Chains A and B, each alone.
Chain A
């Protein structure tokens, strides 16, 4: 049972504060979409609106063609996995998992059979008679997952499910979550503030900020071609350099950086470049070289740190402070003058906002 989710023009307020602003989002049947952002960006609010724990001031939520917007939460049949597991402390593991089936009026024998089968799938059938208090964090989250999956929900939602687990377990669990979600072909919404987690687990990721989706795309596109300065900074483009096109010549565009240096940018890599734009580069996208003739931004080098694969420099330039990496073979000293050469496939072009 799998259904597409459509959220359209959703607006929500806490009192008079607007926390979601005309948010639209569609999740395909069987797709996993993450909502990624810092705390207060509206990702959890979106999840709670879809779950029915909050009411929107405007907008609609439809799941498989059924309008959920005004439906009470207990009638939505959405599987939820919470950050703090939210297991029923007074019920055994088996009764926790069977709880949703009980609400659907399924007879004891049948629901225990199904709950046991689901516990087996998450590898916890040995612990069926324990109380949740006797389980480890990872086991608790598996029980929570089994409890949400056993009702065969048309939509599965996760609210920071792994943030209470240690680093190693987090990686194991996210693989497990992804496998179960794939195997059941369940539509899923996954809320997290952890970029690596979101990128690794999702078909698509929505990067959120101040109650809006800044960009919704595959992890690959987000990582390599952010659509705006916010997303670029979010995915680690530390350097944003304002540029101006001075000449267009067939496949090459020449643009001027602050301080007057002209840089050649291949059109093949960047596509259409507007007259005024921002060149975004990670530290790896600006190569530090001592060669005074190199086509790059002149910079005075500041603090040097050792990254293992490269040296990283805090640089002072006409475009302001930038961060760039240089080769291990030729470490440069504090205060020396160097050039920062953009590496085309590590950079991207953004519109001026």
Chain B
């Protein structure tokens, strides 16, 4: 095989990168534009649109709500998803095949439908508080990702390792925490990140479930766009991205390191 790359291949790779990076560059550029309307390339550079985000109360409130919901929904989904994925893999032979499909079902239901159903059944039907309904909705949409990603991790885990620990005198529950969990660490981290991103970016479910006084950031962005066309939208989008990257980095660091230290 010749070591030299074909020029067409290089060209294709560049196109793919442009396609991936393009939107990011445009949003970043637009956020810095010293104009009162969205434009790219930016005309003049300013950070005032980032300051402006925090002058608008609705943005301040929804950023907090979005982060709270994303963290809580992810935590809940992991709390349900890790044991579910464990059971589905550990007892794969004994359990019926449709059971693992059950955990993917929320992905198959269009999110709009899911949002509307939750609105009718939980928010209106049970008069549940908006925050709680939002949390249930987000937990539902991120749970399938958690189960799938952790399942994939567990699929390559050899359960005789668990049996070895038990035969050496370790209780099954303790074995789960000291032996099984450290070995699916990467799956748990990936599930966390995926779930968090899915939740914090969600529009379709939140659209139905947000109500008076409580909204999420993407819904607030949507509401803002309907009335204004200023670069705040771009700057808040950048902020949302930075927030997500920060969470990813923190999770990677803390979860990764604490598990490794054991």
Contact = CB atoms under 8 A, between A and B. Distances in A.
Interface of A: 51, 53, 73-80, 82-84, 86-90, 99-100, 103-104, 144, 147, 151
Nearest to B185: A90
B169 A77 contact: yes
Contacts of B260: 90
B165 A88 contact: yes
- Kindly name the residue among B170, B183, B260 whose own CB sees the greatest number of chain A CB atoms within 10 A: B170
Contacts of A79: 167
Contacts of A88: 161, 164-165, 179, 183
B168 A100 contact: yes
Interface of B: 158, 160-161, 163-172, 175, 179, 182-183, 260, 262
30 contacts: A51-B163, A51-B167, A53-B163, A74-B166, A74-B170, A74-B171, A74-B172, A74-B175, A76-B167, A78-B167, A80-B167, A82-B160, A84-B158, A84-B160, A86-B160, A86-B163, A87-B161, A88-B161, A88-B164, A88-B165, A89-B161, A90-B182, A90-B262, A100-B169, A103-B168, A103-B169, A104-B169, A144-B164, A147-B164, A151-B169
Q: Which 7 residue pairs across A and B have the least CB separation, nearest first?
A: A103-B169, A100-B168, A86-B164, A86-B160, A80-B167, A90-B182, A86-B161
Contacts of A90: 182-183, 260, 262
A274 B262 CA distance: 68
A149 to B, nearest CB: 11
A88 B160 CA distance: 10
A86 B158 CA distance: 7
A14 to B, nearest CB: 9
B203 to A, nearest CB: 39
B158 A73 contact: no
A89 B161 CA distance: 9
Nearest to A80: B167
B168 A99 contact: yes
B163 A80 contact: yes
- Kindly name the residue among B168, B179, B182 whose own CB sees the greatest number of chain A CB atoms within 10 A: B168
Given A78-B167, A82-B164, 5 more contacts: A73-B167, A75-B169, A77-B169, A88-B161, A103-B169
A90 B186 CA distance: 12
A296 B169 CA distance: 62
Main secondary structure of the interface of B (DSSP, over half): helix
B164 A89 contact: no
A77 B182 CA distance: 24
A75 B166 CA distance: 9
A72 B229 CA distance: 67
- Kindly name the residue among B161, B179, B260 whose own CB sees the greatest number of chain A CB atoms within 10 A: B161
A89 B183 CA distance: 7
A51 B179 CA distance: 19
A76 B171 CA distance: 11
- Kindly name the residue among A78, A83, A88 whose own CB sees the greatest number of chain B CB atoms within 10 A: A88
Contact of A147 (B168, B170, B262): B168
Contacts of B166: 53, 73-74
B160 to A, nearest CB: 4
B163 A99 contact: no
Contacts of B158: 84, 86
A135 to B, nearest CB: 15
B167 A99 contact: no
- Kindly name the residue among B160, B164, B167, B170 whose own CB sees the greatest number of chain A CB atoms within 10 A: B167
A151 B260 CA distance: 26
Nearest to A157: B167
A39 to B, nearest CB: 15
Contacts of B170: 74, 99, 103
A107 B170 CA distance: 16
Nearest to B164: A86
B29 to A, nearest CB: 45
Nearest to A81: B164
Nearest to B259: A90
A109 to B, nearest CB: 19
Contacts of A100: 168-169
Nearest to A79: B167
A225 to B, nearest CB: 37
A83 B262 CA distance: 26
B168 A151 contact: yes
A99 B161 contact: no
A72 to B, nearest CB: 8
A132 to B, nearest CB: 10
Contacts of B179: 88
Contacts of A86: 158, 160-161, 163-164
A103 B169 CA distance: 6
B172 to A, nearest CB: 7
Contacts of A82: 160, 163-164
A77 B170 CA distance: 10
B169 A74 contact: yes
Contacts of B168: 99-100, 103, 147, 151
Contacts of B262: 90
B188 to A, nearest CB: 13
B171 to A, nearest CB: 6
Nearest to B175: A74
Contacts of A80: 163-164, 167
A55 B215 CA distance: 53
A190 to B, nearest CB: 16
A55 B170 CA distance: 19
A249 to B, nearest CB: 60
B94 to A, nearest CB: 8
B160 A99 contact: no
A147 B167 CA distance: 11
